[in-house]
Each structure stands twice: as structure tokens, then as C-alpha cells.
Amino acid sequence: MSDSMEQLVREFERFPGIGPRQAKRFVYYLLATSAQARATLSTLVERVGEEVKQCALCQRFQSGGREMCSICADKSRDKTSLLLVEKDQDIIAIEKTHLYKGHYFVLGGVLTLSGKGVIREDFLVRLIKQKVKEGLSEIIMALSATSEGEHTSDYVRTLLAPYRTHVRISVLGRGLATGTELEYTDEQTLSGAILNRKEF
Amino acid sequence: MSDSMEQLVREFERFPGIGPRQAKRFVYYLLATSAQARATLSTLVERVGEEVKQCALCQRFQSGGREMCSICADKSRDKTSLLLVEKDQDIIAIEKTHLYKGHYFVLGGVLTLSGKGVIREDFLVRLIKQKVKEGLSEIIMALSATSEGEHTSDYVRTLLAPYRTHVRISVLGRGLATGTELEYTDEQTLSGAILNRKEF
Amino acid sequence: MSDSMEQLVREFERFPGIGPRQAKRFVYYLLATSAQARATLSTLVERVGEEVKQCALCQRFQSGGREMCSICADKSRDKTSLLLVEKDQDIIAIEKTHLYKGHYFVLGGVLTLSGKGVIREDFLVRLIKQKVKEGLSEIIMALSATSEGEHTSDYVRTLLAPYRTHVRISVLGRGLATGTELEYTDEQTLSGAILNRKEF
Amino acid sequence: MSDSMEQLVREFERFPGIGPRQAKRFVYYLLATSAQARATLSTLVERVGEEVKQCALCQRFQSGGREMCSICADKSRDKTSLLLVEKDQDIIAIEKTHLYKGHYFVLGGVLTLSGKGVIREDFLVRLIKQKVKEGLSEIIMALSATSEGEHTSDYVRTLLAPYRTHVRISVLGRGLATGTELEYTDEQTLSGAILNRKEF
């Protein structure tokens, strides 16, 4: 393989979930496609970084050159609650439920048990200070139900301790996920399901 | 294959989760093992049916020739709640949580959407009539979070409608199961997780 | 669980490919089925050991009380070749090709690299001595293309060394299996495929 | 999502094996990385198409601005045989066996049973005409052992019919692939393995 082929393979290997074999396949796909298609991709990769900026409040990526994203700018949303997620895509998942009407903050990652990972804690603390003044009453931690998600939730809780007098801090409830059979369900999930049982 | 080999293959094919290939393998395993081992298995298969009886109340399988199983006979258990499960093994899963102290009833299966399946509804209705007199106040439906589980729960709810004046009927809560990442979570599960969020 | 339930679970755990959870499920299946069905299974498990005997020549399991199995007794089969397989089911797979018309011998297992496993080597040597007198000219080793299969083939080759002057010893050819894509094919398989290429 | 984000998602969805969810993840990865990294990727995507050209003979992708790739230019390679593969990566797999010393031709795809797909048949025919004059004696079709691979081989055979008087056409041999157990092997593979059996 040529130098630029090998360099391109290495760039694709950095993509999430992509190993050496698929990275190579991407390069052959690009070689087999038209010069036009490569130019389009090249331009978009460059342009997306210029057009898309992080929202000054929730830190999610958004285009249009505005300071705030559409949710943060929406005055009809409930200012008293803030829901913390790991990544931009999680907001889409929550919005689909049509159950949550408050604001969001994107942590931008999780903290691993081995001490790796970075979250946007300075932005978070600054935002919460401001939102407390504007009447914030609940922070919902909506992280993954994984050991890393729980570890990050624990860390954020410590970070938010000074605000507990004003703000209720909650986490998403545990319970049966769609498709779950009882026999294969772990104790923590089943405990949540029993405690969260509801009128039927 | 001989007649008795073929017949035995057919019997093993009826075992849950066993296809023709594994059924054949079971037969070859039995042929290759000792006459002693085959005699032991043969005796146990016969004996288990004689020694193990269903509990007169919850209908789970139990040995010892007693009328009631150890849970139904345990006077320290809470008589005001009854938890319905699909199968015996589900009781073990619930007991491991150490959260539920009431009684159980084993439905013995689920009803499929296509109208198949049988549950022990006569036993259930009889037991609930009796338990209502003894102060039953809650029936928890702890079926799988699958379409068949939900269909069966719906059916049982209709069956129990006459008792609703005395008894609260509930279902296990939905929410994040251990290991769940938000991005991959369906709306129903996520809705449950938001509604069931708790102080952290 | 009762004693006989627990004992039966342990017996089913010995079945090939069956873990504790499925073994328990088998027991609950038997409890839920009829006494009649349990009696049938119990009888068949006992009877199969009496009715089915190993063929005096190839050692496969067969019923009918005859000394030899139908293949070994079939005078139209080619007496000059003998194909060695690991287990009875492999014979069925080979017969389906309609390509091989000789005789078989079932080794009854493989030898593992860690020195475990038993094969019927006394029966094999005795059979080959007899077959050499009757004109045997080829022994085909049709073992799995796994490290254990190859290790066993190597051992059997040593065992058969004294007969090489009279008998050709061969192994199944390597090559592309149905469904194989070149890119994912290991070197040994691909080497076999190149060497075994054929007129098209 | 912004226009350029959505367009970029669509471009990544065209990558082999990439669905909408992973395409989105790629875009978020690019947004979260540095402007520098995006510029590098953008440049490489553009440059790879300029630097890498197809070999005038075998049609594989190669850099360096030369007319022929290193294999086609190598005078020590055997000019009497030509091996046809689906894609560039297959050449690497074959070269690793160190068994084949002839030349290659990359078809650039397969023909599907439903009539889709394109192969470089004009280049192939032109190359074969030239190679026949230079002494070509064997064409080896090294396509995948899948229905599409076989369908393409059949088509190419028809295409090459006029050259059969001068050139032997062969296909890769079928047989046991590494890791195969006999019991699970289909008849075609097993037939190949028996026919291709070799001295041991």
C-alpha cells in the first residue's frame, strides 16, 4: 500500500468501533468510488468542524452559528430540571419518550474505573450555578447502567454536593427492560423492578 | 439407527431448547456411557415424578410428600401479597433479591398471541378467593417483559377484575437493566426509567 | 429442590453441551410432562443400552442383535478401503456425499494435546491386521480439521506405520468450505485450496 | 442535526458495513476530535485518489505513479499462470501462502444472482488476449465459495471459452477449512475433501 493509503487506514482505525480490516476496506471503497464522491467527503469533513459548534449551555453539537441549541433556546421547556447524559445521541433517545420537558447537559464521556476519561465538569458546574439562580430544582443523572456509568454518576454527585440544599438529585430507575425474561435477570435489576412496581 | 435409538431421539427432541442434532448426540452419549449410568438416569426419571408433587397452594414443584411447599407453609411470610410468576425458576430469582416477603403463585406458562399456551387459571382463581378472605391486599404480576408476558398479564388482569375492589394489582416496574446503554434503549424502557427515577 | 430433583439435574449436567441452567430446565420439563411420558423415557433409556450393541468390526452403535452393522455386512462395499472417523454421526455425513463406497471404523473420540481422551486403538489395530489380509489398500483419516483432530491423526499414523508397506494412508483434503470468503481464509486452508485446484 | 452533519452521515452510510447509527457516531467522533485531525483526514481522502492508480494490467490499486504494480512488473513471476480474485485484499491472502508465483487479475466485485454487480470484463479479456500471446497456460479462478462467487465464476468461464484451446481453466479446491468438524460439514465441502485427500 502507498503512503497515503496507509495513512488513511490509520485515520480510519481511530474511528469508533473500526479495526484494521474494516479501515482497509474503507480505503478500498474510497478508491473504487468516484473522484467526485471523494471530493464531497473531503469537503464535508472539513466543513462540519466549521459549521457545527457546541451549544454554550448544554454543550451538544449544533449548527447554524447560534450561541444556544434549539432545546436550550426553547422558552417553553421546563427550567426547573436538568438531565445529564453522556453523549449527544442520548438526548435523541430521551426526547423520543416525550416524557421529559426540561433541559439537558452533555457530559461528553464517562470516567472509567481505572481513572481514564474526561467529562465537561467545569462547564457543568458553571451551568448549574447559573441555573440554580434561575430556579433549578432537580438534576436527573441519566447515565448508562454500566459500572462506568455508575462510577461517573458517583463522581458527579460529589461534584454537585454543594447544591443539594437547593436541588434534588435523582438517577434513572432500574427495572425490567423490554424483552427481559425474569429467570435471566440479575438481582439489581429485579430489585428495581419490584420496588418500582406500578398499578396495573 | 435402531427403533429404540430413534424413539429416544424423539423423546429428547421434546426437551426444551433441544433440536434433532443435539437429541442424537444425547443418545450417543448414553450409549457410550456405562449401563450403570443409564440405570441411574432411568430410575431418577421415573422416581422424580413420584417424589415431587406440586404445592397445593402455589403449584410449584416440591418434594417431601407435604401438602404445601416451604414458602407457603412459612407463617412468617407476608399473607397480604401474592406474586405471580411464569415458572418455578422465577421464584428463585425473586427470592435472591431478599426484597419480597410475601407468597407466590406459579402460572406454569404464558399465553401466546396466537392463542397457544396454558396457565393454571382455575388454581389461581381458587387461591385468590381464599387469600382475599385471609386479607390479601396486593397481587404483583411478575411476568417477562416480552409480548407474550404482557399478553398473559393482560389476560390475568381481566381474570382478576372481580377482586380489584379488595386487592391492588401491580406489575413489575420498567427501567434500565444492568448493563444497558441509553443510546440503545427502547422508548418504553426509557420512559419507565424516567418515571421511576429515584433520589440519589 | 428435592434429592431426586437435584440428582437428576446432576445427571443432565453430564449430557454433552448441557450446563446447570438447562439441566434444571430439563427436570422441570419432566415434572410438567405426564407420568406416561416419564415412564416412556425411563424405559427407553434402559432399553437402548440393551438393544444397541457396537458392531464387532467398525464399532459403531447398531441395533438388531447382529454381530455386524449394515455397512460392514454389505458385501457390495469396497473392501480395499477403510475410512476412520471420530464418531458415529460422522459416518452419516460421509454417506450423504455418495462418494465413498468402502468401510468405516469409529475411533470413538479424539486425543487432546494435554494427553486426555481415548480412542479404540486395540480394535483398530486388530481390524486392520485382518483387513490387510483381505486386500486393504487405503486407510483414509477423516478426522476434524482441528488441532485435536490433527493430533489424533498423527498418533494414528504412528500406530499404523507397520502397515504402510501394504496400505496407502491418506487424509481428507483441505480447501475452501462452502460459504468461505477468500479474505478471511487462513493460509493452511488457502494453500490446500490452491494445491487442490481442479479443472473447471 | 445540521445540514453538513446530515450530509456527512449520509456519506458514511455508503461505507461498506456501516449503518445509520454508526455513521452518526463517526460524525460525532469527528466533531469531538481536533480541527487538525479533521484537516488531515480531509486531505488524505482527497490525496489518496490522486496518488493511487490502478495497475494497467491487474487493475489493483497501487501508488507511485507507475504504470504497473510491483507484482505485474516483477519479471521473476511465472507468466504462464493468471489467478483471478474479487478484490485487492484477496491478493494479500494468496501471497501469504507463498504457494502461488504467477500473476493476478482483480475482477473488482462479483455478479449477484439477481443480476447486480459489475466486474472488469473488458480489461480481463484484453489482458488474457495479450497473455495468451506471451504463453499463458492456466487461469485459476479464486473466487469466494459463495453462491455469488460461484455465479461469477460460471460467468467468467463462459467469457473465457474462446481461450480454452490454449489455456487450462481451474478453480480453487473444496475441502475441510481449518477448524471444521466433520459432523457439521456440508456435502459439497465433504465431497471435495474426499476427492482431494492426500498422502499422509
Nearest CA of chain D to the CA of A121: how many Å? Answer: 16
Q: Cα separations (Å) of B123 from B62, B116, B127, B171, C118? A: 17, 19, 6, 20, 53
Length reported for chain A: 200
Cβ of A51 and D4 within 8 Å? yes
**Which helix (H) or strand (E) covers residue D53, if one does?**
strand D53-54
Q: Specify the fold of D3-51.
A: Helicase, Ruva Protein; domain 3 (1.10.8)
Instruction: Reply yes or no on whether the pLDDT at B44 is more than 70.
Output: yes
Which residues from chain B sit within 8 angstroms of residue C7, using beta carbons?
44
| Residue in B closest to C90 by C-alpha | B25
Nearest CA of chain A to the CA of B5: how many Å? Answer: 33
| Alpha carbons C29 and A141: distance in angstroms, whole number | 44
Which residues from chain A sit within 8 angstroms of residue D3, using beta carbons?
51, 63
Instruction: Reply yes or no on whether the pLDDT at B45 is more than 90.
Output: yes
Q: What is the pLDDT of residue B2?
A: 61
Q: What is the pLDDT of residue B16?
A: 93
Query: Which residue of D3, D14, D48 to mutate against A (max A Cβ within 10 Å)?
Result: D48
Residues β-bridged to residue B53: B62
Instruction: Reply yes or no on whether the pLDDT at C1 is more than 80.
Output: no
| Alpha carbons C94 and D193: distance in angstroms, whole number | 10
Average pLDDT over residues D31-58: 94
A93-104 pLDDT, tens digit each:
999 999 999 999
**Count of CB contacts below 8 A, A vs D?**
132
List all chains that touch chain C, counting a touch as 3 or more CB pairs closer than 8 Å. Answer: B, D
Average pLDDT for chain A? 94
Q: What is the pLDDT of residue A193?
A: 94
| Residue bearing the bigger pLDDT, C21 or D2 | C21
pLDDT grade, residue B3 (50/70/90)?
Answer: confident
| Residue in D closest to A109 by C-alpha | D32
Pairing of strands B103-106, B81-85: parallel
Cβ of C189 and D196 within 8 Å? no
Length reported for chain D: 200
D140-175 pLDDT, tens digit each:
999 999 999 999 999 999 999 999 998 999 999 999
Average pLDDT over residues D18-25: 94
B75-99 pLDDT, tens digit each:
999 999 999 999 999 999 999 999 9
Average pLDDT over residues A152-170: 94
Instruction: Reply yes or no on whether the pLDDT at A125 is more than 80.
Output: yes
Q: What b/e string do you get for A117-128 counting C-beta neighbours within 10 Å, with b at 16 or more?
A: bebbeebbeebb
| Alpha carbons B96 and B79: distance in angstroms, whole number | 19
Nearest CA of chain D to the CA of A146: how many Å? Answer: 20
A30-85 pLDDT, tens digit each:
998 999 999 999 999 999 999 999 999 999 998 877 899 999 999 999 999 999 99
Query: Which residue of A45, A63, A87, A92 to mutate against D (max D Cβ within 10 Å)?
Result: A45
Q: Specify the fold of A3-50.
A: Helicase, Ruva Protein; domain 3 (1.10.8)
Query: Which residue of B40, B48, B87 to mutate against C (max C Cβ within 10 Å)?
Result: B48
Q: What is the pLDDT of residue B4?
A: 86
Average pLDDT over residues C60-69: 88
Cα B84 to chain centroid distance, Å, stands at 8
Which set of grid coordinates corresponds to residue D125? 479479456
| Residue in C closest to D182 by C-alpha | C144
Specify the CATH class of A76-174 in words.
Answer: alpha beta
| Alpha carbons D4 and A43: distance in angstroms, whole number | 10
Q: What is the pLDDT of residue D77?
A: 97
Cβ of D28 and A108 within 8 Å? no
Place of cell 455465479: D151
| Alpha carbons D175 and D197: distance in angstroms, whole number | 9
Which residues from chain B sit within 8 angstroms of residue C48, using beta carbons?
2, 4-5, 8, 27, 30-31, 38
By percentage, how much of chain B surpasses pLDDT 90? 89
Average pLDDT over residues D85-97: 94
Average pLDDT over residues B22-37: 94
Cβ of A45 and D42 within 8 Å? yes
Average pLDDT for chain C? 94
Instruction: Reply yes or no on whether the pLDDT at D70 is more than 90.
Output: yes
Which residues from chain C sit within 8 angstroms of residue D178, using beta carbons?
145, 174, 186, 188-189
Which residues from chain A sit within 8 angstroms of residue B93, using beta carbons?
182-183, 185, 190
Query: For chain B, which residues make up each domain, given as ranges?
Result: 3-51, 74-195
Q: What is the pLDDT of residue B156?
A: 96
The ipTM assigned to this model is 0.86
Instruction: Reply yes or no on whether the pLDDT at A174 is more than 90.
Output: yes
Q: What is the pLDDT of residue D65?
A: 79
Cβ of B187 and A140 within 8 Å? no
Residue pair A132/A82 in contact (Cβ under 8 Å)? The answer is no
The hierarchical CATH code for the domain C69-175 is 3.40.1360.10
Query: Which residue of A7, A43, A44, A66 to mutate against D (max D Cβ within 10 Å)?
Result: A44
pLDDT grade, residue A4 (50/70/90)?
Answer: confident
| Alpha carbons B140 and B78: distance in angstroms, whole number | 13
Nearest CA of chain C to the CA of D138: how many Å? Answer: 10
Instruction: Reply yes or no on whether the pLDDT at C2 is more than 70.
Output: no
Domain made up of B74-195: CATH architecture: 3-Layer(aba) Sandwich (3.40)
Q: What is the pLDDT of residue C131?
A: 95
| Residue in D closest to C172 by C-alpha | D197
Q: Cα separations (Å) of C166 from C80, C141, C160, C173? A: 11, 16, 11, 22
List all chains that touch chain B, counting a touch as 3 or more CB pairs closer than 8 Å. Answer: A, C
Q: What is the pLDDT of residue D1?
A: 60
pLDDT grade, residue A2 (50/70/90)?
Answer: low
Nearest CA of chain C to the CA of D89: how many Å? Answer: 6
Cβ of B173 and A171 within 8 Å? no
Which candidate from A85, A90, A178 shows the least CB-CB separation from B189? A178
C83-131 pLDDT, tens digit each:
999 999 999 999 999 999 999 999 999 999 998 889 999 999 999 999 9
Nearest to C107 by CA among C82, C81, C85, C129: C85
Q: What is the pLDDT of residue C95?
A: 95
Which residues from chain A sit within 8 angstroms of residue B182, using beta carbons?
85-86, 90, 93-94, 142-144
Average pLDDT over residues B60-73: 90
Nearest CA of chain D to the CA of C137: how many Å? Answer: 13
Phi/psi of residue C171, each to 5°?
Answer: -125, 160
Q: Specify the fold of D61-195.
A: Dna Topoisomerase Vi A Subunit; Chain: A, domain 2 (3.40.1360)
Query: Which residue of D1, D4, D118 to mutate against A (max A Cβ within 10 Å)?
Result: D4
pLDDT grade, residue A3 (50/70/90)?
Answer: confident
| Side chain identity, residue B132 | V
Angle at D128 between CA D122 and CA D133, to 5 degrees: 135
C133-145 pLDDT, tens digit each:
999 999 999 999 9
Which candidate from A89, A175, A183 shows the least CB-CB separation from B174? A175
pLDDT grade, residue D4 (50/70/90)?
Answer: confident
Long-range contacts of B29-33 (CB under 8 A, 24+ apart): B29/C14, B29/C15, B29/C16, B30/C45, B30/C48, B30/C49, B31/B5, B31/C48, B31/C49, B31/C52, B31/C61, B32/C108, B33/C14
DSSP state of B6: H
As to burial, measured by CB atoms within 10 angstroms (0-12 exposed, 13-18 middle, 19+ buried), residue A29 is: middle
Q: What is the pLDDT of residue D64?
A: 77
Which residues from chain A sit within 8 angstroms of residue D28, using beta carbons?
61, 87-89
Which residues from chain A sit within 8 angstroms of residue B191, using beta carbons?
97, 99
Cβ of B99 and A173 within 8 Å? no
| Residue in D closest to A59 by C-alpha | D32
Q: What is the pLDDT of residue C115?
A: 86
